[in-house]
Copies of this chain bind each other. A is one copy, B any other.
Amino acid sequence: MNWNNPFTKLLEIKYPFVQAPMLGVTTPGMVAAISNNDGLGSLPVGGLSAEKTIELIRKTKALTNKPFAVNLFANEYETPNSDEVTAMEKFLQDFSKVNGLPYQKESVENYSFHSYRELIGILLNEDVDAVSFTFGILDDESITALKEKKITLIGTSTSVEEALLLDEKGIDIIVAQGIEAGGHRGTFLTSEPLPKIGVMDLVPQVVKQVLKPVLAAGGISDGRTIKAAFMSGAQGVQIGTAFITSDESAAVSSYKSAILNASETDTVLTKSITGRWARGIKNKLITEIENAGIAIPAYPVQMHLTTPLRSYAMHHDNPDFISLWAGQSSGQAVMKPAAVIFNDLVKQAEDLS
């Protein structure tokens, strides 16, 4: 199969397969494994500090000379409603107590969510090949600065309207994230009601309206689904869940087990964990926050509020109280080195040609 197309040309990569950025799961080792095997790894740095971002980029560069993308969160802050924050904190404290978990409350001032604007200068200095982003669109100044450095820009859309806006802003490559995808929705125009478009409907409709290469995200788990995505008009695919169980993944063991054992009906869309819509395997944390019936503070505040619980649970490898982000094809995952998973996907797709 000839994988040459405007997307692979733009990035000078062989395979139009992107490893999805998964904050808390993706490591420099995972990114490098994909890029070294001629796909495009994605290093997530959304919300991280400048120092941490530099460290991660350099770690990744130490492991690969090939192109990879650095992924930003392009959202703007929403001022949290302090009554809602107080109520949620109280709930989480009680909830932690009942479940025998410590809850070390952080003060709002200590929340360490950094705007992508703090990172643009670093990306320019560190000479990265591509910058991908989600939750919004970078501001015009950042877009201009990155484009002047010939950095390829990859934006995320969940509706035709969002894709058209990315196109209009001159973004080079447009990810169409179907509702099957695991983790956070990239939605940034209207999130209530959330667009819930299947990748099979979204990709062809976006392809019809934009001239830029479109990458299909969501539902891609094997050679067949890769080929189907290309058939539906995509010039590339973005794959996340399949790499959560890779050796290079930072996911704790119980998270990996949950992925391997999940059926296609086990994931839900929820705002409960971070305040933004995301797809994950339903566990006690999601169920109890949703059942509490109290308002969920906006992202990233809710994310910070659940962090103490999730950090403790992660440390103790307890899947009941962590975020088990996962797509609808989780059960198809395998535990192998990322390079083996990646090359097997390539081979499956090529064997179908």
Residues in A lying within 8 Å of B, measured CB to CB: 159-161, 178-180, 190, 193, 195-202, 204-205, 207, 218-222, 224-225, 227-229, 231-233, 263-265, 268, 327-329, 331-332, 352
Contact = CB atoms under 8 A, between A and B. Distances in A.
B180 A352 contact: no
Given A159-B265, A198-B198, A204 B179 contact: no
A219 B222 CA distance: 20
Contacts of A197: 180, 264-265, 328
| Stoichiometry, copies per complex | 2
Nearest to A189: B265
Given A198-B178, A198-B199, A204 B224 contact: yes
Contacts of A220: 200
B205 A228 contact: no
Most buried by B among A196, A201, A227: A201
B198 A219 contact: yes
B352 A205 contact: no
A221 B233 CA distance: 13
A29 B232 CA distance: 31
Nearest to A327: B201
